[in-house]
Structure 1
Amino acid sequence: MNLADTLYQLSPSPEMLLLIIAAIALIESLALVGLLLPGVILITATASLAGHQDVAITALLLAAFIGAVLGDGLSFLLGYTQRERVTRLWPFSRHPEWLARGARFFHRYGTLSVFFGRFVGPVRPIVPLIAGMLRMSPRAFLWANLASAALWAPAYILPGYLLGQTWQQLVTLPPGVDEALIALAVALVVLAVVFSWLRQQAGRSGRLYRLLAKGARLHPVMRRFWLAESSKGQREVPLATWLLLIFSLGALSALTIGVIRQAGPFALDLQVHAMFDQLLIPSLTQVGQVMARIGDTYGVVALVLPWGAWLLLRRHYAAFLHIGAGLGAIALLNTLGKALIGRPRPDTPDYLTGSLAFPSAHASTAVVLYGLAAAFVAPELPSRYRFWAYWVAIALAFPMAISRLVIGVHWLSDLVGGALMGLVVCALVRLAWQRRHRPALTPCPWLLLSAASLVLVSARVAWLPPV
């Protein structure tokens, strides 16, 4: 049974898929809950299943259109009838800036804001609500609602539908790999969402932060620690960083003990290695080789050189030293870990002769490099955009780690150990950085520096041998 057959068995009936598409479109456009729903991901996935089952495209587009119109209509009706009460409803009572953002968008574009807002993620569920609260003409709203939904439905449905129709011809997978790939994809999405949610909860406005702050006041030792951390010129206790350090260090210690006692790969390591060994896709192997060069010593130097030079030229010496210390520390820990544990690789090409497996230096270095970049960039962004810095870091570090499985030079547990070690180093660097108030790193010519990094790393891939 191939992956397509597996998805076919797991997916709902065509009629149920139409209802799901309509429900997702409605909820994504609905005030209060639309802000919390990853609608793009859900619609793309559902449309892909519908494409695989050859559901009529007209019916699919009509379902999405109806759901989108109803969602905006209900949001408008809520704002039109409730007005002042809306500000007291959750989550707007906790996040009044969301309403303020939608109001600014509405005042800027007027009637057209309902049309444009459909395609702008951060304000999509808010603008119809604001339009109702500000007594926009129902007739004008209806025409803007219908016109935007008519364009929105194909824009969101067709890419996923096309994927479901054609992916089987683009990628041929061997039997036995299907369920494992599905489980891996689901696990990665769940872990990324949980990480993002926990990071938000550990911020000052999060429930976890307030709960621990309340508990700390009840115990003398914790109260002294909390007050000491709060008095260092910062706005809040770095709870997220402390939790990251505690959990990452605990997980790394447990995994390392297991690796030492196992004296060989785990059963899951063997299964994952066999799965990737069956993925005989030449282009994927080539991408893995390129990623191997980007993530080695030469590649990392090429990536950080423009940024390090800019930090020195702008006299951000503290940031330069902290990031440099993080990269130096992870290089040292990787060398010591490999030497002390002595775990052999599943496959050792010539350029890796004498190099051992645990932990994965590529994975750990990628986590430190992109994780610290996100941690330093996020505070310079408006609060509503900060989570994007961490999502970009995950999106950059994950392919680097997976590429080690693609080319067969690491076990899965090597990557997990490397990632955990990288998170420990990130947490330690951030705790050191957060001990005092630091000047802002903006303005930064990030486009110019990114282009310079891209040029240097491209030259490294093209001209220098792997190390």
Structure 2
Amino acid sequence: MDLLHAFVTAIIGFAAAHRLLAYGVAFLLAGAETVPVFGALVPGTAIIVGLGALVPGGTLAMWPLIGLTAAGALTGDGLSYLFGRRYKQRAMGMWPLRTRPSLLAAGRAFFARHGSKAVLISRFLPGVRAAIPMVAGMSGMSAVRFYAVDVCAAALFALAHILLGMALGASLTVLHAIAGRLVVLVLILAAALALVVWLTPRVIRYAIGLLTRLRGPLRQWAEAGDGWVRRLVRSLLDPARPEALGLLVLGALLIGGLWLFFGVLQDVVAGDPLVRADAAIFHFLQSLRTPAVDQVMVAITELGDATVVIPVLVVTLAWLAWQRAWRAVFYGIAAVAGASLFAFLLKITLQYGRPANIYAGWDAYSFPSGHATASTALYGFLVVLICREVGARARVLVTAAASVFVGGIAFSRLYLGAHWLSDIMAGLAFGVAWVALLGLVYMQHARREVGASGLAAAGLSALLLAGGLHIATAHAKDMRRYALTLPLRHMTMADWHNSGWASLPVRRVDLMGDYEEPFILQWAGALAPLKAALRAQGWQTPAPWDLSSSVAWLLPDAKPNALPVLPHLDNGRSEALVMIKTSGNVPSGQRVILRVWPSGTVLTSAGATQPLWIGTVVTEKIEHLKPFASLVDERNDVNRALHALETSLPGIELKKRTLKEADWNGVVLLGQS
């Protein structure tokens, strides 16, 4: 084991010293891992992750490394597949395969159990990775089918290993996103994508099971009387209609979509916590933005522009007209036009401003998101048409693919600061409800087939062509439009000292929009003088988040200054300064924590500008759960922590808010560098 560790370390060190050769090493190792028998001896995974760790420091570039790793994996798998397809059963008698019959046996059992999915799954399982491509060839799996799955497997393999290496290289820990913003964003997107892919088939199966159980009681109720509601229910539950279950699913989506839409609308109109969460999530996502991801997100958001939506709609309508499915043509127009018109009318009625000044005129209003509403309506109705004519497995795949695509467009609007979270939620909810309503009416009367496979091919072709042309012609302009610009508030130094300080936020807002601890410090200018003044009074920088400090939480007698400080966000912003005090007037086993964030306000004086910072101070008590671990318990008494900070900054100006709160006397400290 020590020898293998030394070998891996030497390879990574060689790659760091010879940058260009490192990409070749990644290509060769990714391919070598699928060589039968010998592939099990190649430490490719460890070395590729190690190469990924060189990316955050700038030694290697991310995309070339990912691309060559994926290409190497695809090449190795392809050669192994062709070998198995060429020699079939004769391969078992060749050296070195005849020395390891158990490898092929395990591979065959795995392939028989999972079928085509085995090619994808085995890429991440060292035990069978070296056998499955060859077994697929020996089993007669078609080349088109094999490579269609293997391209996805190679891409996911490369992304997972390089991103993991990048995370390790940037010292990600379990409790704090210390890695680069790119890694954090990729993890968020990966989690969201995994949730959609995992949740969609389960929700569909659960809904179908629930509706199947309710069909009997509902039918009995509908047949027990008369009235338009009972007649509608009898029509939906007619056992002679094969689409009855689909109609019930659409009914459930209609009710759920309307419930969510009106719930969001009520929160926006009333200014409930969702509105505060809007701002917090906006600032959080803006803090994660990087130029490389901006390029991708702008391209995704362009796929939801009218320049793409309209051609896709026209092509799909042309296909439906060619099939003489005139009713589907009418409902398709109603889906997109109705959703777009509703979004426009609601925008000009509420006149709810966007997070940033990206658009002018009526487009400057944001609620609800037109991109989310129109995309949900268009692709949602296409899903209704396609799912009416395909099998159960295809329905799940089509629905999941459309959900991921529309979800990607919606997330890109959030990421680029074009919309608030409430805009996106309302747009998606109304789009789903509108599509469900049209789908219910359409399926009640539609009898003509629309050619599901041809419709899907026509829509996808139009999307690729129109989307590609739009991205090629508008991307540079849109990159300038969606450039990162955070709004700043300007205030004079005199106004701040007089009464402007009272206009700043009173309490921290967490990512869910809830109010937390009060802001008791406002500091103008650089933070270095504040840090130096506190150090002189016994304050210190907390332990950084790394492996050793994370392990300290598992010690039953950890000292207050040995435990890293849990991160807090204010309106989505990360702390700019964190300091702790564990001595002096601080009781034993406790620590006082000062956290400082940018306020979003700039002070001006005599033509010069300086940032204004806001901070909170709390007391934490260390709880020792012997013999297991240590925990922290945040005290509710802000006044005691405030006194510790005030005595550490002699001469600081005191202001007082007219508040009556049990845990805070309303005092705010004003200081400047």
Question: Shorter-chain TM-score category?
Answer: 0.5 to 0.7
* SS of corresponding position for 1:358: coil
CA contact (8 A) 2:200 2:400 kept: no
CA contact (8 A) 1:368 1:425 kept: yes
TM-score (norm 1): 0.62
Amino acid at match of 1:229: L
Distance across 2 between alignment mates of 1:263 and 1:445: 43
Map of 1:246-285 to 2, 5 A cutoff?
246-262=255-271, 266-285=275-294
The equivalent position to 2:335 in structure 1, one of 303, 318, 326, is: 326
Amino acid at match of 2:386: V
CA contact (8 A) 1:304 1:453 kept: no
Query: Higher helix proportion, which one?
Result: 1
1:332-359 per-position Cα deviation (integer Å, ceiling 9, x unaligned): 1101111222210010224566521110
Higher RCO (C-alpha under 8 Å, 6+ residues apart): 1
Map of 1:355-434 to 2, 5 A cutoff?
355-434=364-443
Map of 1:280-359 to 2, 5 A cutoff?
280-350=289-359, 354-359=363-368
How far does residue 446 in structure 1 lie from its aligned partner after superposition? 4.5
Check 1:217–1:268 CA distance in 2 against 1; reply closer, same or farther (3 A cut): same
Map of 1:415-454 to 2, 5 A cutoff?
415-442=424-451, 444=454, 446-447=456-457, 450-454=460-464
Distance across 2 between alignment mates of 1:195 and 1:453: 23
Aligned partner of 1:106 in structure 2 is none
Check 1:230–1:287 CA distance in 2 against 1; reply closer, same or farther (3 A cut): same
1:130-152 per-position Cα deviation (integer Å, ceiling 9, x unaligned): xxxxxxxxxxxxxx999549989
Task: Please say if 1:460 is aligned against 2:470.
Answer: yes
How far does residue 314 in structure 1 lie from its aligned partner after superposition? 2.4
Aligned partner of 2:558 in structure 1 is none
Distance across 2 between alignment mates of 1:163 and 1:119: 27
* SS of corresponding position for 1:424: helix
How far does residue 290 in structure 1 lie from its aligned partner after superposition? 2.5
Aligned partner of 1:105 in structure 2 is none
How far does residue 268 in structure 1 lie from its aligned partner after superposition? 1.6
Please list every run of 5 or more consecutive structure 2 residues that lacks an aligned counterpart in the other structure. 1-44, 53-106, 120-127, 137-149, 482-673
Amino acid at match of 2:236: E
* SS of corresponding position for 2:444: coil
TM-score (norm 2): 0.44
Aligned partner of 2:69 in structure 1 is none
* SS of corresponding position for 1:381: coil
* SS of corresponding position for 2:364: coil
Please list every run of 5 or more consecutive structure 1 residues that lacks an aligned counterpart in the other structure. 1-46, 55-111, 125-143
CA contact (8 A) 1:174 1:279 kept: no
Aligned partner of 1:72 in structure 2 is none
Aligned partner of 1:164 in structure 2 is 164
Aligned partner of 1:212 in structure 2 is 214
Query: Higher strand proportion, which one?
Result: 2
How far does residue 401 in structure 1 lie from its aligned partner after superposition? 0.6
- The higher radius of gyration belongs to 2
* SS of corresponding position for 2:343: helix
Distance across 2 between alignment mates of 1:249 and 1:461: 34
1:386-439 per-position Cα deviation (integer Å, ceiling 9, x unaligned): 200001001111110111122111111111111101101110111111112422
CA contact (8 A) 1:303 1:453 kept: yes
How far does residue 376 in structure 1 lie from its aligned partner after superposition? 1.4
Aligned partner of 1:132 in structure 2 is none
Check 1:176–1:343 CA distance in 2 against 1; reply closer, same or farther (3 A cut): farther
CA contact (8 A) 1:233 1:436 kept: no
Amino acid at match of 1:450: L
How far does residue 115 in structure 1 lie from its aligned partner after superposition? 6.8
Amino acid at match of 2:332: I
Distance across 1 between alignment mates of 2:217 and 2:262: 28
CA contact (8 A) 1:303 1:454 kept: no
Distance across 2 between alignment mates of 1:365 and 1:334: 9
**RMSD over aligned Cα atoms:** 4.2
Amino acid at match of 2:212: R
